[in-house]
Amino acid sequence: MAKRIQFTRTGGPEVLEFVDFTPADPGAGEVRVRHQAVGLNFIDIYVRTGLYPVPSLPSGLGTEGAGVVDAVGDGVTHLKVGDRVAYAQGPLGAYSELHTLPAEKVVSLPDEVAAETAAASMLKGLTVQYLLRQTYPLKGGETILFHAAAGGVGSIACQWAKALGVKLIGTVSSSEKAALAKRNGAWATIDYTKEDVIERVRELTGGEMVDVVYDSVGKDTWETSLDCLKKRGLMVSFGNASGPVEGVNVGILNQKGSLFLTRPSLNGYADTRERLEAMSEELFSMLASGKIRIDISHRYPLADAGKAQEALAGRLTTGSTILLP
């Protein structure tokens, strides 16, 4: 027997239950991981509330973790029992002591990267990798706008952008978060609770506006983001923290300057084992070199996953939050 978080109905944090369960033995092509740390992400809230439907109920939760291989199924050759590993994709169930998942979604963790660091950065770090290195391949010298720059993804993006020689303008909701984003390498910050984001972007860029906007907020920032782009700029909508963008007439992209729009996801980029390994290797290299440092600001016992999600949804956190089995 082991412990896990599950839910039998969608809703608020109160639907999460801390229960005993029997972990599945790994089948062909699978491994079982004994977690040392589990990642907490906004997508977990989308799943819990029903925005992203689950295959069936009751359901586990979470897709990111790090630990040690506990058992290996037939046909798995790149991993063995005792290997240090991490993952950011796969079937729901990472909010647990033990989790069985396809081996192709699991990567070896180098000694230079701690399990807690991996659990706090795999999903967020791979997200930043595809955003900055693939969705819009930044070369250096660009000016970009990144919403929620003091959050888990934003904190990594600030550091990665600085390492690339990119001017990142980050939106934040307080002076404390502004200071954090600047420490992480943001070129400039905008407190959207006090400042007009569009006007500040215009001031900061001398009227040029930005090459690309990375927007994980969704509904509340949609039009603001479009208005911060220069002609033929790229709008990257990669999250729905305020709710999904709906009812959009694509003609608005023409009206605002022949803009480009994409709605990417990690699964759309790390769609083969080879791509996942290449992306992970670049992330681990950035972590090992110290160019990216992971601020684990909050650690919660696995049993308190609901409290952790409340803090995340209420924007009461900075950096990364992890759950400890």
| Tens-place pLDDT, residues 312-322 | 888 777 678 99
Chain-centroid distance, C-alpha 226: 22
- 98 Cβ contact partners less than 8 Å away, ≥ 6 residues apart: 2, 23, 32, 33, 34, 35, 70
| Tens-place pLDDT, residues 8-52 | 999 999 999 999 999 999 999 999 999 999 999 888 998 999 989
> How far, in Å, CA of 39 to CA of 51, rounded?
20
The DSSP call for residue 208 is -
Provide the pLDDT for residue 220: 87
* Average pLDDT across the chain, whole number: 95
Predicted confidence band of residue 168 (pLDDT cuts 50, 70, 90): very high
**Mean per-residue pLDDT, 284-299:** 94
Please state the length of the chain.
325
- 272 Cβ contact partners less than 8 Å away, ≥ 6 residues apart: none
- 258 Cβ contact partners less than 8 Å away, ≥ 6 residues apart: 231, 232
